[in-house]
């Protein structure tokens, strides 16, 4: 397969508005729904008085916990089956009417009565209730390698600090939406989800119907970043219940304000990190994380997990603890764990370098881990050192001192760097590739494109394997009628679909070759099958000039076209011979106005090594998008709770600041190609890499510019004055 910058498959559809997002599918007779939100952060729903509602024009149906009692109990249905109120703004009912305006008017007329109990709205308020979860994702919450306290007592240099990170919300451009209806006992669900098959499975479970009676569609997504998953399900269930109750299609779309409370967020962390060094080598690390979770469910990012393996160190203790509060529930957000975790670790490494008196880049190279520190396994491939070298050279790291703390206009200049990493993992995947008699190609996989380029990658992998141009490729995804594909999360989709598509296209190549060589009328007749290749819509002999157009072979021997399915397994973490990990080194130059506190990122250079790159154009977009998200986390984004009420403050994109174009500097992206013999297809995920590391790189650059060490995110004007 080639590395090729194919333009976006769905680009024209999107820029012309012809891409139809699932929330735009509105059949005749659709009811429009709105949610009634709890005015208290902790308590119990007593009643919903609908006596005034029936008279409202257009009012059709209300559903609440009472209706959800018919759903099978599970983690996904708990919140909507119970009367308990866990956070301010928690929906207590859904109201559907002929128009959205009518639904809102009717909802306003419903009297909500609740009890109120004292709410915990700050992790500091409930530090005593901190507990250790069993797992953080697929990792243990607590680990201990060697004896860190002994090593710290013997270390030449000990650095001990607390780093804190704020709450962030995902805010994809497209808010969550569902349009659903029932055809008898079968459900059709158009919804913006990162996991159509996961959504299908949970619907089937909740409604106790066969999965085959549920069709979920998500053909276009306007972003996800982790929030279009399980926390959306309860509200989607309510829409489905309303549809069943009213026997009409129901449409529910979240408001921007509800995107702050209902679909997850990056959790707040307080991280105590201690590093011990002897002769510039790490001898001990202790990383304790306290983070917020909600009172109705448990979630912990893998914040300290990467501290276990980024550097060579014999004595490492890590621990995650959670404090439940009456605030919205957290969920993975782009670069989950690595973004807050590397902020602490890579800030601390910078602090250590200064105290040791060496270049922070040199300190990192000196402590490079040449194998997986936790398991002792080799890396499947690891080009981190090359990332350091290439990034430093392009950025001009060696010459940074000439610029540091100098002034350009009102800006004091500073440089900083940090490491980013993310595991390379895969999900099981099935894909179907069909070659039609006209030589066109249909590629089908039940995954979804979050906007990152899955349509293009899927199409181009199949096209390249069969020598068909992209213009003749149709890609179908985002529908559970297609073969089971991976959910869009954890930077896994390209790595998961590629092996499955390659299996399918290999089968087609073999079939085509055997047809061609068996046909005495073909110029390829009698040739050995392994001599044939597919290129430029032609089956060719590698060793002679013989060849025949693909369509001619198909017309003669396969007038109905050819079809093949491929399947590839998920990463089996128990039986790995090598640990797969993608890496990057991020270098930034910033300006700080020390009198006015303003910070501007002036240059970013990211050098990334993530296996084989299918499409450099898309990969560059992913890296830049990731870095912009990282800049937002570092300097702009923070979701704040009003402590007395538990209400999220400033639930709009006016108040929740994300980087605008003027905040985005030039991005210099270096991609270091790796050949990875251990990973099927050789692909590692790239989506997360840009969003971690850059936070610490910016904090380190702030220190370089003005001598202030900021150990909290976001870094604001008041931190630099």
- Enumerate binding residues for another protein (CB under 8 A): 39, 88-89, 100-101, 104-105, 255, 410, 595-598, 600, 635-636, 640, 642-645, 647, 649-652, 654-655, 657, 659-663, 716-718, 721
Minimum CB separation of residue 161 from another protein in Å reads: 22
d(CA 622, CA 624): 6
CB nearer another protein, residue 205 or residue 643 = 643
Element (H, E) at 342: helix 338-356
Element (H, E) at 463: helix 454-466
Tokens of 116: 């109120």
User: Which of 448, 350, 451, 466 shows the shortest CA–CA distance to 704?
Assistant: 350
CB nearer another protein, residue 357 or residue 644 = 644
With vertex at residue 638, the alpha carbon angle to CA 635 and CA 640, rounded to the nearest 5 degrees, is 150
CB nearer another protein, residue 168 or residue 452 = 168
**Cβ atoms within 10 Å, residue 202:** 23
Q: Residue 12 carries which DSSP code? A: H
CB nearer another protein, residue 165 or residue 639 = 639
CB nearer another protein, residue 518 or residue 640 = 640
Minimum CB separation of residue 87 from another protein in Å reads: 12
Q: DSSP per residue over 197-217, as a string?
A: HHHHHHHHHHHT--GGGEEEE
Phi, psi (deg, nearest 5) at residue 562:
-125, 150
CB nearer another protein, residue 144 or residue 410 = 410
d(CA 476, CA 459): 9
CB nearer another protein, residue 166 or residue 198 = 166
Minimum CB separation of residue 721 from another protein in Å reads: 6
- Burial class for 543, CB neighbours closer than 10 Å (0-12, 13-18, 19+): exposed
CB nearer another protein, residue 96 or residue 431 = 96
Minimum CB separation of residue 157 from another protein in Å reads: 33
Minimum CB separation of residue 121 from another protein in Å reads: 11
Minimum CB separation of residue 169 from another protein in Å reads: 15
CB nearer another protein, residue 434 or residue 695 = 695
User: Which of 288, 289, 286, 250 shows the shortest CA–CA distance to 268?
Assistant: 289
Minimum CB separation of residue 383 from another protein in Å reads: 34
Minimum CB separation of residue 249 from another protein in Å reads: 20
As a three-state string, the secondary structure of 428-439 is: CEEEEEEECCCC
d(CA 282, CA 309): 12
CB nearer another protein, residue 78 or residue 657 = 657
Minimum CB separation of residue 707 from another protein in Å reads: 17
Minimum CB separation of residue 664 from another protein in Å reads: 9
Within its chain, how far is the Cα of 432 from the centroid?
Answer: 25
Minimum CB separation of residue 629 from another protein in Å reads: 14
User: Which of 300, 310, 226 shows the shortest CA–CA distance to 581?
Assistant: 310
d(CA 12, CA 24): 18
Minimum CB separation of residue 359 from another protein in Å reads: 31
Q: Cβ(537)–Cβ(469) under 8 Å?
A: yes
Tokens of 646: 């538990």
Phi, psi (deg, nearest 5) at residue 163:
-120, 140
Sheet holding 666-671, edge to edge: 407-408, 411-423, 581-592, 599-609, 666-671
CB nearer another protein, residue 387 or residue 599 = 599
CB nearer another protein, residue 100 or residue 297 = 100
Element (H, E) at 504: helix 493-518
User: Which of 597, 522, 603 shows the shortest CA–CA distance to 555?
Assistant: 522
For the chain, the maximum distance between any two Cα atoms, rounded to a whole number of angstroms, is: 85
CB nearer another protein, residue 195 or residue 631 = 631
By DSSP bridging, strand 135-136 and strand 91-97 are unpaired
Minimum CB separation of residue 636 from another protein in Å reads: 6
For the chain, the distance separating the N- and C-terminal CA atoms, rounded to the nearest angstrom, is: 53
Beta carbons within 8 Å of 377's beta carbon, 6+ residues apart? 371, 576, 577, 578, 579
């Amino acid at each position: 397969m080639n590395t090729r910058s194919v333009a976006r498959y769905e680009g024209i559809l999107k820029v012309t508005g012809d891409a139809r997002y699932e929330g735009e599918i509105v059949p005749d007779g659709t009811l429009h729904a709105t949610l009634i939100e709890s005015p208290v952060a902790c308590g119990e729903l007593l009643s919903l008085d609908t006596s005034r509602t029936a008279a409202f024009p257009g009012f059709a149906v209300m559903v609440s916990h009472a209706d959800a009692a018919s759903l099978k109990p599970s983690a996904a249905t708990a919140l909507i089956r119970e009367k308990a109120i866990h956070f301010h703004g928690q929906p207590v009912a859904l109201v559907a009417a002929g128009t959205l305006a009518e639904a809102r008017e009717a909802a306003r007329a419903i009297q909500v009565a609740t009890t109120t109990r004292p709410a915990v709205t700050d992790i500091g308020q409930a530090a005593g209730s901190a507990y250790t979860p069993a797992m953080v994702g697929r990792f243990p919450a607590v680990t201990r390698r060697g004896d860190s306290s002994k090593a710290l007592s013997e270390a030449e240099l000990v650095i001990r600090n607390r780093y804190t990170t704020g709450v962030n919300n995902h805010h994809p451009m497209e808010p969550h939406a569902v349009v659903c209806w029932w055809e008898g006992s079968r459900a059709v669900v158009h919804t913006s989800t990162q996991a159509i098959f996961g959504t299908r499975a949970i619907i089937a479970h909740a409604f106790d119907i066969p999965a085959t009676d549920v069709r979920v569609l998500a053909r276009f997504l306007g972003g996800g970043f982790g929030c279009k998953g399980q926390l959306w399900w309860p509200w989607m269930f309510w829409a489905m219940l309303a549809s069943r109750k009213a026997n009409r299609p129901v449409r529910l779309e979240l408001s921007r304000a509800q995107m702050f409370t209902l679909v997850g967020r990056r959790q707040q962390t307080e991280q105590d990190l201690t590093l011990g060094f002897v002769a510039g080598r790490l001898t001990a690390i202790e990383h304790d994380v306290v983070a917020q979770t909600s009172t109705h469910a448990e979630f912990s990012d893998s914040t300290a997990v990467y501290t276990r393996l980024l550097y060579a160190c014999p004595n490492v203790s890590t621990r995650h603890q959670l404090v439940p509060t009456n605030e919205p529930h957290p969920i993975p957000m782009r670069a989950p764990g690595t973004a807050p975790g590397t902020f602490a670790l890579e800030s601390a490494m910078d602090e250590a370098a200064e105290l040791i008196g060496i270049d922070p880049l040199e300190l990192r190279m000196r402590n490079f881990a040449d194998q997986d520190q936790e398991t002792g396994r080799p890396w499947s491939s690891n080009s981190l050192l090359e990332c350091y070298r290439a990034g430093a050279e392009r950025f001009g790291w060696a010459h940074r001192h000439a610029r540091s703390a100098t002034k350009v206009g009102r800006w004091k200049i500073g440089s900083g760097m940090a490491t980013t990493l993310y595991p390379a993992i895969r999900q099981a995947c099935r894909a179907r590739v069909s070659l039609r008699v006209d030589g066109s190609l249909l590629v089908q996989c039940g995954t979804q494109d979050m906007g990152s380029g899955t349509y293009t990658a899927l199409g181009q992998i199949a096209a390249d394997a069969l020598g068909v141009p992209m213009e003749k490729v149709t890609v179908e995804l985002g529908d559970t009628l297609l073969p089971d594909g991976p959910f869009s999360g954890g930077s896994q989709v390209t790595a998961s679909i590629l092996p499955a598509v390659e299996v399918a296209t290999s089968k087609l190549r073999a079939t085509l070759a055997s047809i061609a060589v068996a046909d005495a009328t073909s110029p390829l007749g009698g040739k050995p099958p392994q001599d044939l290749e597919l290129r430029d819509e032609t089956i060719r002999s590698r060793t002679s000039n013989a060849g025949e157009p693909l369509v001619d072979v198909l017309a003669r021997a396969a007038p109905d076209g050819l079809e093949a399915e491929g399947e590839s397994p998920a990463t089996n973490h128990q039986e790995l011979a090598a640990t797969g990990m993608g890496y990057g080194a991020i270098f930034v130059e910033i300006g700080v106005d020390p009198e006015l506190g303003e910070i501007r990122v002036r240059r970013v250079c990211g050098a990334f090594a993530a296996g084989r790159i299918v499409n450099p154009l898309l990969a560059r977009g992913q890296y830049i998008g990731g870095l912009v998200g990282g800049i937002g986390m570092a300097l702009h984004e923070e979701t704040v709770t009003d402590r007395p009420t538990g209400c999220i403050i400033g639930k709009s994109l006016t108040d929740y600041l994300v980087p605008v174009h003027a905040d985005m500097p030039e991005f210099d992206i270096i991609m270091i190609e790796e050949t990875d013999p251990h990973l099927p297809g050789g692909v590692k995920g790239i989506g997360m890499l840009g969003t971690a590391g850059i936070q610490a790189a910016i904090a380190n650059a702030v220190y370089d510019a003005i001598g202030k060490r900021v150990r909290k995110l976001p870094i604001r004007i008041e931190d630099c004055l």
